[in-house]
Amino acid sequence: MKILLLLFFLFLFLITTRVSPEYTRPNPRPLIFRPHNRSDSDPQQVHISLAGKDHMRVSWITSDKKVKSVVEYGKMAGKYDRAATGESTSYRYFFYESGKIHHVKIGPLEPSTTYYYRCGGYGAEFSFRTPPVTFPVEFAVAGDLGQTEWTESTLAHIGARDYDVFLLPGDLSYADAQQPLWDSFGRLVEPYASTRPWMVTEGNHEIETFPIIYPHGFRAYNARWLMPYQESLSSSNLYYSLDVAGAHIIMLGSYTDFDSDSDQYKWLQADLASIDRIKTPWIFVLIHAPWYNSNLAHKGEGGSMRQAMEKMLYDARVDVVFAGHVHAYERFTRVYDEKADECGPIHVTIGDGGNREGLAMSFEDASPSISLYREASFGHGRLRVFNSTHAHWSWHRNNETYSVMADEVWLESLSSSTACKEVTKSSKAPKDEL
């Protein structure tokens, strides 16, 4: 029976994983499986996410389906003077049945404040710190995490220095239809994701479609990683936006419709139009498949989305676009329409969190002039936004047990660029006059 089950999951793995054969990767490190070792009613896989102004969503899973979706919280350890009730869900995937997945929105919360909380009335106390409402604010960024010893190393480096919010441009667990690996991933990231908000968007490893039976995909992802799409007037958990201090962050979906007649396209149009650059001078966008990429891995896969949406981001003067998917680091200059352009966003590929597939070692022989730094190593990024005009981006390579800053650049917000402001005004003038 065990062998049959093993063969079945191997079959699922083969048909749900998209493998690009064009490049070879070095040895990945072993997968870490975190077993369930708490009581059935204890919360496990606790993670938090920002959920609209002054609110946080607390998500966790219990094996016991009778546990209530309630979070008790307060500003002193062990003293919970507030409580909130939320919702729960669960899902099936072939023979697998998930635990009870709880999502509870709490708030209003004060900024830059530590809150202590308990989930479902059972188990250990957790705590988190809310992000600030004013600059400075710091983001940690890493994509394509997976759950290997490299992942553990990246997470340890991220956690070793303070930050406010974690941003993940897709490919979380690499469960690839083996649903217990979603649970293991939730346990692996809990020490980090329960203390700082994790804002994620989906990658190809979240799709998990199966012909006829699960044709729509994202079954586990949507149930487990509920993001603030309703709070940002989106109709899908696969794309949404949020404000953190003076930054407007847009999470786009590379694997859902993005053409000009799609919901995502129309939502993005409305979302960009609603941005107040005085209130949020910075705009950051996260996608999974990069629009600019000089690695041989996944070459051109983001091309059709770029053609559909790039002009919208360019006209809105987006500051940076972060992508994952390619398991390496690459930073481009400001670009638009495949050429250097001082009013276009900087593109950064940071799909180097540490997944089981290893690194994408092969770049095009000649580095394109728009590519300023590229390296196939695991690591993570730091985006420190100091004020409305200046931010610092750095990339930190995992050097075994320590982390080394290998790339850095100062960024100036396009909202403070006179040249680009004027282009924006003149390009919008004909529409304004209509």
> Taking the alpha carbons of 352, 356, 361, 363 in that order, is the dihedral positive or negative?
negative
Q: How far is the CB of 334 from Fe ion (least distance, A)?
A: 25
The single residue among 204, 237, 355, 371 that binds Fe ion, judged by CB under 5 A, is 204
User: DSSP secondary-structure letter at 76?
Assistant: B
Contact between 241 and 249 under an 8 Å Cβ cutoff? The reply is yes
Stretch that binds Fe ion, among 185-193, 317-325, 335-343, 374-382 (CB under 5 A): 317-325
Segment 160 to 179, residues that bind Fe ion, using CB under 5 A: 171
Of the candidates 238, 197, 300, 215, the residue with the CA atom closest to the CA atom of residue 16: 215
Half-sphere exposure in the Cβ direction for 397 (13 Å, CA) = 15
Q: Does 325 bind Fe ion (CB under 5 A)?
A: yes
DSSP per residue over 347-400, as a string? EEEE--S--TT-----B-SSPPTTEEEEE---EEEEEEE-SSSEEEEEEEEEET
Q: Measuring CA to CA, how many Å separate 50 from each of 153, 230, 240, 348?
A: 25, 12, 12, 23
Q: How far is the CB of 148 from Fe ion (least distance, A)?
A: 15
Q: Kindly determine how many residues on this chain lie close enough to bind Fe ion according to the rule CB under 5 A.
A: 4
Stretch that binds Fe ion, among 115-123, 204-212, 278-286, 302-310 (CB under 5 A): 204-212
Return the number of the residue (88 or 154) whose C-beta is nearest Fe ion: 154
Stretch that binds Fe ion, among 94-102, 324-332, 337-345, 413-421 (CB under 5 A): 324-332
Active-site residue 298, yes or no? yes
Q: Can you count the helices (H) and strands (E) in the chain? A: 7, 24
Among candidate residues 102, 103, 298, 347, the one labeled active-site is: 298
Q: Does 146 bind Fe ion (CB under 5 A)?
A: no
Q: Measuring CA to CA, how many Å separate 90 from each of 63, 64, 173, 265, 396?
A: 11, 12, 18, 30, 37
Return the number of the residue (194 or 201) whose C-beta is nearest Fe ion: 201
3-class DSSP state of 182: helix
For residue 108, cis peptide bond before it (omega within 30 degrees of 0):
yes
Stretch that binds Fe ion, among 62-70, 108-116, 194-202, 319-327 (CB under 5 A): 319-327
Closest residue to Fe ion: CB criterion: 325
Q: Does 201 bind Fe ion (CB under 5 A)?
A: no
Q: Does 203 bind Fe ion (CB under 5 A)?
A: yes
Q: How far is the CB of 179 from Fe ion (least distance, A)?
A: 19
Query: Active-site residue numbers?
Result: 298
Binding residues (CB under 5 A) for Fe ion: these are 171, 203-204, 325
